[in-house]
Chain A
C-alpha cells in the first residue's frame, strides 16, 4: 500500500550529473591540504571554505531544480561506478538525491559554509589552522556520502568516515591528554554502533541479495518478522552510537574537547543527527517491525529526559549545550519511531535544531573567544552588554529551543509532542516534561551567562568577536527565528514522496496539547528565574546531597557504568590473556619441548646447535620419506 506510492528515482540529467562534485571537491581539497603541508598554510583555510561553498552552491541548484519538477520526478539517482561485484552480490556506488537527502545536503553544506567562515576568525591564531580546515572538509565530504548514498554500504562508508573526521577534530588539540582520550572514546563508542550497521547490512544482503535502498524498500514487506525486527534493532544500535542516544551516549559530552566550531557542526547540527536520518531512511523496515519501532520511541524518550537532566546541572556552557543536543535528538528519535505520522516532524526538528543549535554553539565559541577560552558559566555573568551581537543572536537560539511562539523550535517541537501524545500518553507526558526541563536549563544558561553580576576572572576583558564570526551568527539567528514559519506548511508535503507520510492539517492556533506545552515551558522559565535569576551565583558549584543533582553533574554516571561493564573487564581480560600467552601456553610448549627434546638445555647452549638440530630433523624427514617410498615399491 504505502510502498507502492514511493516513486522510483529517475536518472540524473543536467545539474544532477554534477552531484558527485559536492563530495569530491571537499574530499580532494582535504587531501590536497594535508599533502601540501606548510605550502598551503597561508591560503588553506580560504581554499577549504571555497570548497564547501561550492558544495553548497550545487546543493542549492539541485534543490531549485527539484522544486521546479513535478513531485514524481524529484528523486534522482546518479550511478557513479561499480565498486565491486563478487558471487551474486554487486555493490554499486551511486547517489540518491531525493526530497530527504537534499534537505540534509543543504543543511550540511549551508551550516557547514557558515562554520567554515566562522572558523577563519575562530582559528586565526592556531598554528595548525590548515590542518583543521582539511579535517573540516573531510567531514563535509564524508557526511555528504552518508546522506547522498543510494545504498547502505556506501552509507556505511560515510558513516565511518564522519566517525574518523569526528575523531580527528575532537582530538584536534591532541597534545592535551583529555582531548586525545575524548577522541578515542568517541571513535570506539561509535564503532560499537557501527557493528549494528554492519549486521544490518549483512542481514539485508542475506535477505535481499542487495543493500540498495530500492531493493530493501521493495523487499521489506516480505522479510520474516523476526529478521525485520532484528534489522530494526541493528539499525537502532547504529543510530544510538552516532546520535549519542542512551545507552551509547557517554562520548558526546567529552567530545566538547574539540574546538567549538566542531561542536557546532559535527556534534550539534549534522553528524549526531545521522541516526535520525538512518531510522527515517529505513522506514520500510521499521514499519514491518513494530517492536523495533517501540524501542526507537523508548530510546528517544529516555534520551530526551537524560540529556535534559544532564543539562540542568553542568557548569560548562558547552556541556550544557551538549546535554541539550542529546535531548533534542531524543525528540527526533521519538518522532522517527512513531511511524509515518512522525517522520516529517523528526526531519523538521532536525533542520530547525541544526540552525538554532549551531547558532548557540557558535555563540558559545564567541563567548569563549572573549573570555580567554573559559567555559565555566560561573565565571561569566553580565555579558549581555559586553557582547551585544553574541547576546542577541544567542537569544534567538534560546527562544527557538524553548519553543517560544513562532520561533523555529515552537513549530517543530510542538508537532513532536502532539504526535507523542497521539502515540502513547506516557510518552507524551515525558516529551512534555522534557520541554519544561529544556526551558529550565536554557534559562539557567542565559541567566548565568548574560545577566546578573560580572563574575569575570582577573585579566579577562570580554569583547565582541570579529565580523567573520558574528556574520554567521546573525545568519543562523535569522534562521532560528524564521525556519519554523518557513517550513511548517511545506515540509510534510515535500517529504511525502520520500518517506510516505500523510499530511495533517497544521494550524497556527495551538491545540490543547500546544497550550499545555506553552504553560509547561513558561513554568520552566519561571522556576529557573526563581533559582538563578534573583540571588547571586556561587563561585563553585555548591555541595549537595541531592541525588538528582549529583547524578546530573556526573553525567548520569555513564562513564562509571561503561567502565564497570565494559572497559575494566576488557582491560583485565587483555592483561590476563597476555599473561596466559606467556606463562600458560608458552610454558606448556616449552615444557613439552623440555620433556621431549631437551629444549631447555639447548636454549642455554650456543645458537649453532639449533641449526644442527634443524638439519637433523630434515634428514630424519628425508629418511622417513625414503623408507616409505621403498616400502611401497616393495609392496
Chain B
C-alpha cells in the first residue's frame, strides 16, 4: 500500500496545532507553528508534483458501512489549486500575525488554531465523500469561531456569533440534503456517500432540485452572495487581518468550490435549471458588493465587500457554463485568495501602526512610508484586475466566457470593473495614501515603513500574482481539467464561433 499522502497532508498541521496546546515558551511555540506550516507547504507541493507526474493519490477506505460513508480523499485540478492556496497562505498568515494584538489570547493559541483550521480546510478540499466533506465543512467553524472570539477587535463576540449562526443555518440546510442523498442512494441498493457513486445516479427532476438547493443555499452563504452576505463584513471587521485572510481567502472558497463539486457535480439537470437565476444573483452581488465597498469607511469592511463583488464574478463564471468561464472562475478562486490576502494584510500593517481601520484616520502615508504605499497600490491593482496581474486573466476568462453565453448579463457585470477602480483608487488608496501628511500619519509612520518580516510576507504574494499574470498557463491547465470534466458531466457544450470557418 502506498503512503496516504492526502491524509498525511491534512493531519500534519492538525498534529502541529494540537502539539501547540502543550505548555511551551512563546518563541518556541511560534517557531514550531511556522515549522509545521512550512512542512505542510512542502507536503502540499510534493502532492502537486506527484499528481503532476500521474501518481494516483486517492484513498478510499470504508468507514461506516451502514451509512455508506468512506474515508475517501482525492484531488482534482480545482482541489489542487485550493490545496496550494491553503498551504502557501498559512505560513504567510502566521508570519504576518507574528505579534498578535496584545490583551487577547496568546500567540501560541493563535498559531495552534490556525494550524488546526488549515488541516480541516485541506480535508474539506480533498474529501470525495459527501458525509466526510460535510463533517469537515462544519468542523472548520470551530477554530474559526475561536480565532474571531479570541483575537478579534471590538464587537468580536457579536461578529463571531453572527458568523456561526449564518454558517450553521447553511450547514443545517445542507444536512437535510446530505441525509436526502443517503435516502436516494440507499433506495438504489447499497448506500454510498462517494461522490463518484452519487454522480452516476444522475439525480434529476424535482428531487434533484430540492437536494441541490440544500447544498446551494449553504454555499451561497459561504461564498457570501447578496443578500446572505452581511455576516462577512461584520466578521472581517472584527477579526485580525490574518483571520480575515484565512476566512475570506480560503474558507469562503468552499462556497464556490462546493457549487462546482457538489451542485454541478451531483445535480447536473438542477444546476442548469438554476443557472439563469444564479447569473442574475451573481451580477447583483458584483454590483452590490462594489457599491458597498465604495460606501465603506472601515478598511476591513471595504476589503470584505470587494470580495463579495469578486465572488459574484466567480459564481457568474460557474453558472455561465462555458469551459472558459468555469476555468476562469476556478483560477479566480486561487488568485482571489492571494489578492485579498495582500489587501487584508497590508490593511493590517497600517492599522498596527495607526491603531485604526478608519479610512479617514489616514492621509499622506505615501510620503512617509513609500514602501507600504507601493505594496498597497499593488494589492489594489490586483483587486481591480489590472492586466499583468493574475486576477486580470481570471476575470477576463469569466467575462469573455460569459459574454459568449449571455452578453447582456455580462454587460451589467462589467460595471463592476469600473466600480473596482473607484473603490481601490478613489476610496482606499487616495484617501489613505495621498494628500498632505497629517500629524497623526507623521507620528504613526515616521521611520516605520514595512519591516523585514512584513516584506517577507508581501513579496511572495505579489510575486505570485505577477507571475501568474504573465505566465498563467500552468495554473490554467491545472484547473481547466475540472472545468472540462464538469462541462462534460453536465452535458453542456461551449458556444461555437458565430462566424463559420473562423479559426
- A192 contacts B418, C-beta separation under 8 Å: yes
- Cα-based distance from A573 to B294 in the complex (angstroms): 9
By a CB distance below 8 angstroms, the chain A residues around B171 are 621
- B183, chain A: closest CB distance, angstroms: 6
- A188 contacts B425, C-beta separation under 8 Å: yes
Which of A34, A192, A206 is the one whose CB lies under 8 Å from B495? A206
A180 at the interface (CB under 8 A from B): yes
By a CB distance below 8 angstroms, the chain A residues around B191 are 632
How would residues 596 to 623 of chain A score, 1 for a CB under 8 Å from any chain B CB and 0 otherwise?
0101001100010011011001100100
- A180 contacts B434, C-beta separation under 8 Å: yes
How would residues 161 to 197 of chain A score, 1 for a CB under 8 Å from any chain B CB and 0 otherwise?
1001001000100111101110110011001101100
- Cα-based distance from A164 to B145 in the complex (angstroms): 40
- B89, chain A: closest CB distance, angstroms: 23
Q: Which residue of A lies closest to B387 (CB)?
A: A157
- Cα-based distance from A85 to B480 in the complex (angstroms): 10
Which of A199, A585, A593, A611 is the one whose CB lies under 8 Å from B411? A199
Give the total number of A-B pairs whose CB atoms are below 8 A apart. 216
- B323 contacts A86, C-beta separation under 8 Å: yes
B182 at the interface (CB under 8 A from A): yes
How would residues 199 to 226 of chain B score, 1 for a CB under 8 Å from any chain A CB and 0 otherwise?
0000000000000000000000000000
By a CB distance below 8 angstroms, the chain A residues around B501 are 222
Q: Which residue of B lies closest to A208 (CB)?
A: B502
- A617 contacts B476, C-beta separation under 8 Å: no
- B497 contacts A207, C-beta separation under 8 Å: yes
Which of A187, A205, A581 is the one whose CB lies under 8 Å from B421? A187
- A585 contacts B386, C-beta separation under 8 Å: no
- Cα-based distance from A86 to B323 in the complex (angstroms): 7
A633 at the interface (CB under 8 A from B): yes
A209 at the interface (CB under 8 A from B): yes
Kindly identify, within residues 133 to 147 of chain B, every residue whose CB is under 8 Å from any CB belonging to chain A: 138, 141-142, 145
- Cα-based distance from A597 to B168 in the complex (angstroms): 13
By a CB distance below 8 angstroms, the chain B residues around A183 are 425
A43 at the interface (CB under 8 A from B): no
- A175 contacts B430, C-beta separation under 8 Å: no
Main secondary structure, interface of B, reads: helix
By a CB distance below 8 angstroms, the chain A residues around B436 are 175, 177
- A621 contacts B175, C-beta separation under 8 Å: yes
- B399 contacts A198, C-beta separation under 8 Å: yes
By a CB distance below 8 angstroms, the chain B residues around A40 are none
Of B417, B470, B502, which is in contact with the most chain A CB atoms at under 10 Å from its CB?
Answer: B502
By a CB distance below 8 angstroms, the chain A residues around B366 are 174-175
- B11, chain A: closest CB distance, angstroms: 22
- Cα-based distance from A86 to B328 in the complex (angstroms): 9
By a CB distance below 8 angstroms, the chain A residues around B388 are 157, 161
- A628 contacts B230, C-beta separation under 8 Å: no
**Given contacts A210-B503, A614-B164, A203 and B66 within 8 Å (CB-CB):** no
- A180 contacts B430, C-beta separation under 8 Å: yes
Q: Which residue of A lies closest to B183 (CB)?
A: A632
Kindly identify, within residues 455 to 503 of chain B, every residue whose CB is under 8 Å from any CB belonging to chain A: 470, 472-473, 476, 480, 494-495, 497-503
B38 at the interface (CB under 8 A from A): no
A570 at the interface (CB under 8 A from B): yes
- A70, chain B: closest CB distance, angstroms: 28
- A593 contacts B165, C-beta separation under 8 Å: yes
B437 at the interface (CB under 8 A from A): yes
- B324 contacts A89, C-beta separation under 8 Å: yes
A506 at the interface (CB under 8 A from B): no
- Cα-based distance from A86 to B495 in the complex (angstroms): 14
A376 at the interface (CB under 8 A from B): no
- Cα-based distance from A146 to B397 in the complex (angstroms): 20
- A158, chain B: closest CB distance, angstroms: 8
B45 at the interface (CB under 8 A from A): no
Q: Which residue of A lies closest to B487 (CB)?
A: A87
- A180 contacts B435, C-beta separation under 8 Å: yes
Of B430, B495, B501, which is in contact with the most chain A CB atoms at under 10 Å from its CB?
Answer: B430
Of A224, A575, A578, A597, which is in contact with the most chain B CB atoms at under 10 Å from its CB?
Answer: A578
- Cα-based distance from A618 to B172 in the complex (angstroms): 9
- A207 contacts B498, C-beta separation under 8 Å: yes
- A632 contacts B182, C-beta separation under 8 Å: yes
- A578 contacts B295, C-beta separation under 8 Å: yes
- B426 contacts A202, C-beta separation under 8 Å: no
- A170, chain B: closest CB distance, angstroms: 12
Q: Which residue of A lies closest to B401 (CB)?
A: A87
By a CB distance below 8 angstroms, the chain A residues around B430 are 180-181, 184
Q: Which residue of B lies closest to A185 (CB)?
A: B426
- B230 contacts A195, C-beta separation under 8 Å: no
- A164 contacts B164, C-beta separation under 8 Å: no
Which of B161, B288, B415, B426 is the one whose CB lies under 8 Å from A188? B426
- Cα-based distance from A629 to B68 in the complex (angstroms): 10
How would residues 304 to 332 of chain B score, 1 for a CB under 8 Å from any chain A CB and 0 otherwise?
00000000000000000011100110000
Q: Which residue of A lies closest to B475 (CB)?
A: A84
A88 at the interface (CB under 8 A from B): yes
B124 at the interface (CB under 8 A from A): no
By a CB distance below 8 angstroms, the chain A residues around B494 are 87-88
By a CB distance below 8 angstroms, the chain B residues around A607 are 149, 157, 160-161
B291 at the interface (CB under 8 A from A): yes
By a CB distance below 8 angstroms, the chain A residues around B403 are 199, 202-203, 205-206
- B349, chain A: closest CB distance, angstroms: 18
- A206 contacts B498, C-beta separation under 8 Å: yes
**Given contacts A581-B292, A617-B168, A602 and B503 within 8 Å (CB-CB):** no
- B327 contacts A184, C-beta separation under 8 Å: no
A223 at the interface (CB under 8 A from B): yes
Which of B183, B473, B497 is the one whose CB lies under 8 Å from A206? B497
- Cα-based distance from A53 to B149 in the complex (angstroms): 59
- Cα-based distance from A633 to B407 in the complex (angstroms): 50
- B234, chain A: closest CB distance, angstroms: 8
**Given contacts A86-B327, A195-B414, A585-B227, A577 and B172 within 8 Å (CB-CB):** no
By a CB distance below 8 angstroms, the chain A residues around B66 are 629, 633
Please name 5 pairs of A and B residues whose Cβ atoms are closer than 8 Å in the assembled complex, sorted by A. A82-B473, A86-B327, A164-B386, A177-B435, A610-B164
A-B CB proximity, top 5 nearest:
A574-B295, A180-B434, A87-B323, A202-B403, A578-B295
**Beyond A188-B425, A581-B229, 8 additional pairs, beta carbon < 8 A:** A87-B322, A160-B387, A175-B435, A206-B403, A207-B497, A227-B498, A581-B292, A610-B160
Q: List the interface of chain B (C-beta within 8 A of A).
A: 66-67, 138, 141-142, 145, 149, 157-158, 160-161, 164-166, 168, 171-172, 175, 178-179, 182-183, 186, 191, 227, 229-230, 233-234, 288, 291-296, 322-324, 327-328, 364, 366-367, 374, 381, 386-388, 393, 396-397, 399-401, 403-404, 407, 410-411, 414-415, 417-419, 421-422, 425-426, 429-430, 433-437, 470, 472-473, 476, 480, 494-495, 497-503
